[in-house]
Amino acid sequence: MTEAIAALDEVTPRRIRTKRARTSVFWLSLPLLAIAATVVILPLTGLLPDPNAQDLDNTLAPPVWLAGGTWEHPLGTGKLGQDILSQMVAGGRLTLFIGVVGALVAIGPGTLIGVVAGYYRGWVDIVISRLIDAQLALPFILIALAIIANRGNSLPVLFLVLALTGWAPCARVTRSVAMEVRERQFVMGLRAAGASEPRIVFRHIIPNLIGTVVALGSLQVGTAILVESALSFLGMGVLPPDVSWGAMLSAGQDVLTNAWWVALFPGIAITSVVLLVNLLGDALLTHNDPRKRKR
Amino acid sequence: MNAGGTLLEVSDLTVTAAVMDRSLTLLHGVSLTVAPGEVVGLVGESGSGKTTLARSVLGLLESNITIAGGSISLRGEEIVSPAADRTVSIRGKHAGMVFQDASRSLNPLFTVRSQLAEVLRRHVPGIGKDQIAARSAQVLERMRIADTGRVLDSYPHQLSGGLRQRVAIGLAVVTEPALVVADECTTALDVTTQAEVVVLLRSLAADLGVGLLFVTHDLMLASDLCDRIAVMYQGEIVELGAVDTVLLHPEVDYTKRLLAAVPQWNGATSPHA
């Protein structure tokens, strides 16, 4: 009996911790993965009409559950009779792609710059920190409009905008975490063991930042999606025949009073995906908290 | 024990730190030698310059600290002087360092095996996988670790404090350096584990002829372990000599005060009773 209780004491706390840690991260990734799978797989089945196919006899048809709706267009049609469901799926694919790639182009350089500043300190840090300040002081939408006005709108330009505006917050956070990690004793231990500086940075400092970087990355996915939506809403984002949720939102704005479904579904999709991604980012940040990890 | 020759020679070392536009002298012309197989204790209160001296040997000083005068030589080769810092060439290979808190001196993300392998690969050119495994196991056995297999595959947080410190010492000596600098490496351990680590360090000096510079604030521990003791006070070595001489017949006031401050247990009148 006593042994059984002792054994329980050994096992229980550990089990609770892993379970709790998994629940939030796991349950938040699940719907996101489901959405990603849907937008990738559904078009392959051939069940959906072309998102750009026009059905001019059937413009602004309501969703199936409203009077006049048909199963032919379950979520209704747009101004030129495009199937909203097809557009949601195609737009979701592009939006998620923009979210992920847009996060990577900001997080990659941002992390590297932040780690260099935080690890090497001195004048390198001073220069980088001033650059971060300068970047953060510039209003994002101004940079975006200036670049797009100059370069035209295309995906590469959009990623350039996302990289330029996204690296600074990421660099600032990784810089401060790198400053904390470099002061840990094992870094001096590595130096005492003769490890080279690049090796310390790439093999030892950066892996210790992974938790933070993953969390930052997930937040940046949300930002990228919102940026694309905002730009598309201003007519500076994705161009037809490509379609994104932001572009759909923009297309729906002038028919909002008589055909709300054109804008509502992409709006709900953007909100829920960004919300899920942000919650996932928060969960990952807590999950990878070094104070928790050390235990 | 002293096999003639000098392994480490610190001569007239002066170290300054730039703090808020002022220059602060941390070490005032410190001289010290360590022979192969000799254990030299560096004792003194916090802020006396023990750690600064220990770190200068491996060139691990903060960037605001500079060598203002004097030199440090290892086996007759000058490695530290105001003009040059050649410590990079000896770190890990000819000199190893053990730190105060082993729970923080190992990278939490890697197993003991991969951390040992990293040091070996860096310092033993062309070493093969089998040799790495053999030498890793061998060094842990020397550290009197019984189940080397389990320890090698453990992450630092899965080991007890004493084991972790022995692993940290193992990391410092796996390349068979001539000199080991131990900076308060027993402070974070309980008394029994401390004793084990002391025995271990002693055997490194006796069996392998490693010269050991042992930094501690614990006089009694130093007396157990060391051949000679250097007492530091405000950046200077105020007394240097064989353990018995320094502890039984201290010449300097400061050493006497330090000795008087050691808690004594003499039967009934324990201060903690």
> Checking DSSP bridges between strand B236-242 and strand B228-233, what pairing results, if any?
antiparallel
Position A129 scores a pLDDT of: 93
At A240-286, the pLDDT tens digits run 778 888 888 888 888 888 888 888 888 899 889 888 888 888 787 77
**Predicted pLDDT of residue A15:** 42
Lowest mean pLDDT among A52-61, B8-17, B147-156, B200-209: A52-61
Can you give the pTM of this predicted structure?
0.74
Angle, CA of A172, A175 and A181, to the nearest 5° = 150
**Is A79 at the interface with chain B, CB within 8 A?**
no
pLDDT of residue A170: 93
ipTM: 0.82
Range of the domain at A45: 2-294
Cα B41 to its chain centre, rounded Å, is 9
> Chain B contacts of A124, Cβ < 8 Å?
none
Q: Where are the domains of chain B?
A: 8-260
Residue B272 has pLDDT above 60, yes or no: no
* Average pLDDT taken over every residue of chain B: 86
Q: What sign results for the dihedral spanned by CA atoms B160, B163, B169, B172?
A: negative
Instruction: Name the token pair of B129.
Output: 């996988």
pLDDT band at A4 (very low <50, low <70, confident <90, very high): very low
Strand ranges inside chain B, DSSP E: 8-19, 22-34, 39-43, 65-74, 77-80, 95-98, 179-183, 211-216, 228-233, 236-242
Q: How far is A18 from chain B (nearest CA, A)?
A: 16
* Contact: B99, A188; criterion CB under 8 Å: yes
pLDDT value of residue A19: 47
In the predicted model, what is the mean pLDDT of chain A?
81
pLDDT, one tens digit per residue, over B57-106 is: 988 888 888 888 889 999 888 888 888 888 888 888 889 898 887 778 88
- Rounded-to-integer distance, Cα A165 and Cα A224, Å: 10
pLDDT at A291 over 70: no
CA–CA gap between residue A160 and residue A232 (Å, rounded): 16
Contact residues, chain A, for B168 at CB < 8 Å: 189
H helices present in A234-260, as ranges:
245-252
Q: What is the CATH number of the domain that holds A166?
A: 1.10.3720.10
Higher pLDDT, A9 or B118: B118
Q: Which residues contact A81 (CB under 8 A, 6 or more apart)?
A: A54, A55, A56, A57, A58, A59, A60, A61
Over residues A223-238, the mean pLDDT reads 82
pLDDT of residue B39: 92
Q: For residue A2, what pLDDT is reported?
A: 47
- Give the mean model confidence (pLDDT) for residues B194-201: 86
Closest to A258 measured CA to CA, from A109, A68, A39, A108: A68
Distance from CA of B119 to the nearest CA of A (A): 7
In this predicted structure, the answer to whether residue B273 has a pLDDT above a threshold of 70 is no
Across A38-57, average pLDDT: 77
Residue of B nearest to A295 (CA): B157
Q: Kindly tell me the sign of the dihedral angle through the C-alpha atoms of A202, A203, A204, A210.
A: positive
Confidence at residue A292, expressed as pLDDT on a 0 to 100 scale: 54
**What is the torsional sign of CA A187, A188, A193, A195?**
positive
B107–A194 CB contact, under 8 Å: no
- Given a contact cutoff of 8 angstroms between Cβ atoms, the answer to whether A244 and A232 are in contact is yes
Chain segment B91-150, per-residue pLDDT in tens? 888 898 988 877 788 888 888 999 999 999 888 888 888 989 999 998 898 888 888 889
Q: What is the pLDDT of residue B18?
A: 87
Number of structural domains (chain A) is 1
Q: How far is A11 from chain B (nearest CA, A)?
A: 15
Q: Which residue has the tokens 């096999």?
A: B3
pLDDT at A117: 93
Q: Is the peptide bond before A241 cis (omega within 30 degrees of 0)?
A: yes
Q: Looking at the partner chain, which of A185, A191, A192 has a beta carbon nearest the beta carbon of B104? A: A185
Q: CA A283, A288, A291: angle at the middle one, nearest 5?
A: 120
Is the CB of B248 inside 8 Å of chain A's CB atoms?
no
Please compute the mean of the pLDDT values over residues B36-54 and round it to a whole number: 89
- Assigned CATH class of B8-260: alpha beta
Query: How far off is chain B from A76, nearest CA to CA, in Å?
Result: 53
**Cβ of A189 and B60 within 8 Å?**
no
Q: What is the mean pLDDT of residues A159-172?
A: 91
